[in-house]
Amino acid sequence: MTDSKSPKQAHRTLDCIGLYCPAPVLNTRQEVDKLAIGDVLEVLADDPAAEEDLKAWAKRTGQKILKIEKTDEGMRFLIQKTK
């Protein structure tokens, strides 16, 4: 999922490297709750389940995943708070 219009800079970064299910999703939810609508959270994770877990969480809560990319350390997600 990539969007050429997605922002390159996030308003906040959440480092979940070394954390495993359910910590990345729980921590992401807590950080998104702190954001204003429209703000973007960058999540860094190396849990193999993080991609599917975060996609399911975003769908369930109505948040928008702007970008998912593989990095040397794992995965990078840009999630926009929509409500």
**What amino acid positions are annotated as catalytic residues?**
21
Q: How far apart are CA 10 and CA 48, in angstroms?
A: 23
Q: What distances in angstroms separate CA 66 from CA 18, 19, 20, 63, one per listed residue?
A: 23, 22, 22, 10
62 residue type, one letter: G
Q: Are 69 and 2 in contact (CB under 8 A)?
A: yes
